[in-house]
Amino acid sequence: MWELFLFSKAFVGLMFAALMILVMWSLVWKGIALWKAARKGDKWWFIAMLVINTIGILEILYIYIFSEKKKKNKLPEEKMAETMSEK
């Protein structure tokens, strides 16, 4: 019975739709994460996310965990530049 379903047009269409949703999910997260990495100058993160396909997992971790760490550990010069640009 399963053999008939695995090769049916309905199953192929369902798998194609699932694959397209997965591709769109991955592209959205990859685009956001690559943009953030490029803006922050994280060259190695940018290369890793560009080459490695993790279905958005690495990208989500970068956006919410690893890119946030740099905000907390700013150098005094960066803090000074921020205050000067606000004025």
- What pTM does this model have? 0.66
- Give the residue from 28, 31, 9 showing the smallest Cα distance to 20: 28
Per-residue pLDDT reduced to its tens digit, 33-62: 999 999 999 999 999 999 998 889 999 999
Q: How far apart are CA 62 and CA 51, in angstroms?
A: 15
Q: What is the pLDDT of residue 81?
A: 65
Distance from first CA to last CA of the chain, Å, rounded?
72
Give the Cβ contact number of residue 37 at 10 Å: 23
Q: What is the pLDDT of residue 10?
A: 80
Please state, rounded to an integer, the average pLDDT across all residues of the chain.
82
Q: What is the pLDDT of residue 53?
A: 86
Confidence band of 1 (pLDDT split at 50, 70, 90) = low
